[in-house]
Structure 1
């Protein structure tokens, strides 16, 4: 199994797809001068609008969803309202950056208020997107591999999930010190492979429950999961830096010997203890 794909490159490609489909204008590699400041970035025609600046708060799933609902050839799902918002958003971003370059940021915010500046348009797009159901993909490597834990966190809808056995390269799972649950670490070692479950149809409401359950000690990180030699976009819960690990995690051993103690001592819907 070889993992050479880069999540950041994928996000750039998805952003380009969103903007090309909606703006019908060319994006190109930037000049050498701007590449010094924004390496390997793209610039919008004759403006200084960087690809890294736009749609900054959108994840892979949301960008893919934007592409699907602004595709003119998909009559059933096409959203004229969101496509219009994207066009207005980009125009406003161009105005903002041109004002910033000229040292006239204050003038921009006098000209554009909280309802029509580039930052407000991004929020409007996000809000409009919530009207359309988005399914998220997560890779579970620890306690959430257990159906019992998933049902306790998400509810009976866990039975309806699309589940595949997958593998994550260059990572390793360890038991958290003095705890009955694990953490995962990036090793950059090709021989390290984590076995787990890829779930592709998690709803936004379920995602919020999972985030609350994982608590402040974990955050979501994008990864590539291998299922039958095909790479899939997904997210995993990565630990914060202040967590200490011990021996390698053994899921089968935990399921057989320690799951009961986990439910008794550490399970909490508002954040594992």
Structure 2
């Protein structure tokens, strides 16, 4: 089994969203197989230089583009499998392209970068759906977690989602109870079944 790494800077920084994409459910506490797979992940803060993160207009999620002199704080995740990358590519869709980048690890969890900070090669998702769709200013992760994530991006209860689908889809088809979410869950279950055989 190959092990991969990735730098996440948006919705996938939330473990519940990452778990839903990779394992088919946001809450893995009662799933011994998903819990075992998640135990192989390491997640730590990192910074990607010469890139900028913006909110995508009309969406809950950001897009990141190269921009000299700017930086993006996110999470560096190791222990991802080939199957995880497949599902992550599906989740990101045609708005993003997976590219190789070099990030600086933040061992202390703060934005202070030591002169001898470790730099690692990894991959990330660059926004390619057009700069005109990106709003000025920074996308706010804390606001996403507080206001957008519950019931829309991460939940194992379809009842929590009731009433949220009356307006426009601000998840870009990536939210819970969408065709993509159902496909990710089916794929995750199928992958687990194959491993058990």
Regarding TM over 0.5, the answer is yes
SS at match of 1:220: strand
Q: How does 1:203-218 map to 2 (within 5 A)?
A: 203-218=81-96
Contiguous gaps of at least 5 residues in structure 2: 24-33, 107-116, 154-160, 162-168, 182-197
| 1:199 aligned residue | 77
| 1:152 aligned residue | 20
Q: How does 1:111-150 map to 2 (within 5 A)?
A: 133-150=1-18
Deviations for 1:113-154, whole angstroms, at most 9, x for unmatched residues? xxxxxxxxxxxxxxxxxxxx2211100100000011011111
- 1:256 is the counterpart of 2:146: yes
SS at match of 2:6: strand
- 1:175 is the counterpart of 2:63: no
Counterpart CA distance in 1 for 2:22 and 2:119 is: 26
| 1:232 aligned residue | 120
Counterpart CA distance in 2 for 1:194 and 1:262 is: 24
2:46 is aligned, of 166, 172, 175, to 166
Q: How does 1:30-109 map to 2 (within 5 A)?
A: none
* Equivalent residues, number: 137
- Once the two structures are TM-superposed, the CA of residue 163 in structure 1 deviates from its matched residue by 1.2
- Once the two structures are TM-superposed, the CA of residue 269 in structure 1 deviates from its matched residue by 6.5
Counterpart CA distance in 1 for 2:10 and 2:77 is: 14
Counterpart CA distance in 1 for 2:101 and 2:151 is: 30
Root-mean-square deviation (Å): 1.9
- 1:242 is the counterpart of 2:130: yes
| 2:156 aligned residue | none
Counterpart CA distance in 1 for 2:56 and 2:179 is: 18
Normalising by structure 1, we get a TM-score of 0.47
Higher relative helix content: 1
The higher relative CO (CA closer than 8 Å, separation ≥ 6) is in 2
Normalising by structure 2, we get a TM-score of 0.64
Label 1:181 to 1:159 Cα distance change in 2 as closer, same or farther (>3 A). farther
